């Protein structure tokens, strides 16, 4: 990988892009994943490439929602696996969540490569390979989930999810936490908790909030209050306003 100097103004963005390129080379990210990355970069640029105060509130609400869940599951696709494999494992540990591989363009090779990649980053149990459950209303390949994973989950984190699946999961009654840099995407619009932030910043920050809430023994009442106080419409509105104002330095 080409060395990117720390003082390069776009250093973080370029490193993220290289991780996606490497993901394609490793066979964990699809070519469509490159396009998704490009769309994400454009929104991130307009958001100032930082976690806004509104996104931080969403990340705290997500942490509280995950700690309240009976069976939380974190969904991992090819971009997520390339960008934040270790960070997803850390979030799963901090919240007692399962990890499930979940691909838009599902092939056995890529499912296996992603599961192996997560194990290389410390995951013990990776779901998604059994594919013995179905999401109603989707075509055959895209409907596949594990019956004891997303099929059984009450709370799901779906980063960079496609709109159809996000809508179908919400219709199944799952509480969805979506991470997407586009506040106007159908996935973000569908989410109970839309996090409008780059996944490379969002996942470690949700983990940090979860650890903080756990370490000081936050009660169920307090966690429920954090979730109840979160205003999804306001979060979407604030992100769209930041993007449209485009106050760039
Ligand atoms: P929808 O159907 O939800 O409207 P889409 O299927 O058209 O969306 P894709 O083209 O699949 O969307 O793009 C994936 C989404 O992931 C885009 O909205 C993009 O902003 C977002 N995205 C890409 N990279 C990241 C990232 N690193 N962090 C967060 N979001 C990202």
Domain ranges of the chain: 53-245
Q: 36 CB less than 6 Å from ligand 1?
A: yes
Residue 182 beta carbon below 6 angstroms from any ligand 1 atom:
yes
Q: Give the pLDDT score at 127.
A: 98
Instruction: Please choose from 40, 176, 202 the residue to mutate so as to test ligand 1's pocket, defined by most ligand atoms within 8 A of CB.
Output: 40
Selected residue with higher pLDDT from 8 and 230: 230
181-204: pLDDT as tens digits: 999 999 999 999 999 999 999 999
What is the homologous superfamily of the domain 53-245 according to CATH?
Phosphopantoate/pantothenate synthetase (3.40.50.12640)
For position 247, what pLDDT does the model report? 61
Q: Which atom of ligand 1 is nearest to the CA of 187?
A: 3
Q: Which residue has the tokens 């106050």?
A: 247
Q: Is the CB of 199 under 6 A from ligand 1?
A: yes
Q: What are 203's two structure tokens?
A: 């996942």
Ligand 1 binding pocket includes 17 (Cβ within 6 Å): no
The CA 132 to ligand 1 mean position distance, Å, reads 27
pLDDT at 245 over 60: yes
pTM: 0.95
What confidence score (pLDDT) does residue 7 get?
Answer: 82
Provide DSSP, the chain. Answer: -----TTSTTHHHHHHHHHHHHHHHHTSS-HHHHHHHHHHHHHHHHTTSS--HHHHHHHHHHHHHHHH-SSEEEEE-HHHHHH-HHHHHHHHHHHT-EEEE--SS--HHHHHHHHHHHHHTT-S-EESSS--EE-TTS-HHHHEE-TTTGGG-SEEEEET--HHHHHHHHHTT-EEEEE-S-TTSHHHHH-SEEE-S-HHHHHHHHHHHHHHHHHTT--HHHHHHHHHH--HHHHHHHHHHHHHH----
Check pocket membership of 160 for ligand 1, CB cut-off 6 A.
yes
């Amino acid at each position: 990988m080409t060395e990117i100097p720390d003082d390069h103004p776009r250093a973080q963005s370029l490193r993220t892009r290289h991780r996606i390129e490497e993901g394609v080379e490793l066979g964990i990210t699809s070519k469509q994943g490159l396009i998704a990355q490009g769309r994400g970069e454009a929104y991130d640029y307009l958001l100032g490439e930082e976690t806004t105060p509104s996104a931080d509130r969403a990340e705290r609400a997500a942490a509280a929602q995950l700690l309240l869940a009976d069976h939380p599951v974190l969904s991992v696709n090819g971009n997520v696996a390339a960008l934040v494999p270790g960070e997803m494992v850390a979030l799963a540990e901090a919240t007692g969540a399962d990890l499930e591989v979940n691909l838009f363009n599902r092939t056995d090779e890529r499912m296996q490569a992603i599961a192996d990649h997560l194990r290389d980053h410390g995951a013990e149990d990776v779901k998604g390979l059994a594919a013995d459950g179905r999401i109603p209303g989707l075509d055959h390949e895209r409907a596949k989930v594990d019956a004891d994973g997303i099929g059984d989950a009450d709370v799901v984190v779906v980063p960079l999810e496609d709109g159809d699946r996000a809508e179908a999961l919400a219709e199944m009654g799952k509480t969805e936490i979506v991470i997407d840099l586009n506040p106007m995407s159908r996935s973000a619009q569908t989410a109970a908790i839309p996090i409008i932030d780059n996944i490379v910043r969002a996942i470690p920050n949700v983990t940090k909030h979860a650890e903080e809430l756990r370490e000081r023994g936050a009660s169920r009442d307090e966690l429920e209050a954090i979730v109840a106080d979160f205003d999804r419409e306001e979060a979407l509105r604030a992100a769209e306003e930041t993007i449209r104002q485009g106050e760039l330095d």
